[in-house]
Chain A
Amino acid sequence: MPELRRTPLYEYHKQLGAKIVPFAGFEMPIQFTSIVEEHRWTRENVGMFDVSHMGEIIIRGPKALDFVYYITSNDPSKLEVMQVQYSALPTEKGTVVDDLLVYRLEDHFMLVVNAANIEKDYNWILSHKLEGVEIENKSYEIGEIAFQGPKAEEVLQRIVEDDLSQISYYWAKRVKILSKEMLISRTGYTGEDGFEIYADNETIKDIWGKLMEFDEVKPVGLGARDTLRLEMGYCLYGNDIDETTNLLEAGLKWITKLDKEDFIGKEALLRIQEKGLKRKRVGFVMREKRAIPRPHLKIYKDGEEIGYVTSGTFSPSLSIGIGMGYVKKEYSKKETEIDVEIRGKFEKGEIVRLPFYKEGTVRK
Chain B
Amino acid sequence: MKVPEELKYTEEHEWVKVEGDIAIVGITDFAQNELSDIVYVELPEVGKNIKKGDVIATVEAVKTVADVYSPVSGEIIEVNEKLKDEPSIINNDPYGEGWIAKVKMENPEEINALLDHAAYKKLVEEE
Contact = CB atoms under 8 A, between A and B. Distances in A.
12 contacts: A31-B36, A35-B36, A36-B37, A223-B62, A227-B62, A227-B63, A289-B40, A290-B60, A292-B65, A313-B63, A314-B39, A343-B58
A294 interface: yes
Interface of A: 19, 30-31, 34-36, 223, 226-227, 289-290, 292, 294, 313-314, 316, 343
Contact of A316 (B36, B60, B62, B91): B62
Contacts of B42: 290, 343
Given A223-B63, A294-B65, A34 B58 contact: no
Given A30-B63, A36-B37, A36-B62, 7 more contacts: A35-B62, A227-B62, A294-B65, A313-B63, A314-B60, A314-B61, A343-B58
Contacts of A290: 40, 42, 60
Ranked 4 nearest A-B pairs via Cβ: A314-B39, A35-B62, A314-B62, A36-B37
Query: By DSSP majority rule, is chain A's interface helix, strand, loop, or mixed?
Result: mixed
Contacts of A34: 36-37, 91
Contacts, number: 40
B65 A35 contact: no
A116 B63 CA distance: 19
Contacts of B40: 289-290, 292, 314
A344 to B, nearest CB: 11
Interface in B52-78: 58, 60-63, 65
Interface of B: 33, 36-37, 39-40, 42, 58, 60-63, 65, 91
B60 A226 contact: no
Contacts of B65: 292, 294
Most chain A CB inside 10 Å of its own CB: which residue of B42, B58, B63, B65: B63
A137 B2 CA distance: 46
Contacts of A227: 62-63
Contacts of B39: 289, 292, 314
Contacts of A294: 65
A36 B61 CA distance: 10
Contacts of A30: 63
A292 B36 contact: no
A163 B112 CA distance: 69
A30 B61 CA distance: 14
A227 B63 CA distance: 8
A291 to B, nearest CB: 8
A313 B39 CA distance: 10
A223 B36 contact: yes
A292 B37 contact: no
Nearest to B64: A294
Nearest to A33: B36
Nearest to A290: B40
Nearest to A342: B65
B45 to A, nearest CB: 14
Interface-centre pick from A36, A294, A316 (highest chain B CB count, 10 A): A36
Kindly name the residue among B33, B37, B40 whose own CB sees the greatest number of chain A CB atoms within 10 A.
Answer: B37
A35 B42 CA distance: 21
A32 to B, nearest CB: 11
A289 B86 CA distance: 12
Contacts of B36: 19, 31, 34-35, 223
A35 B37 contact: yes
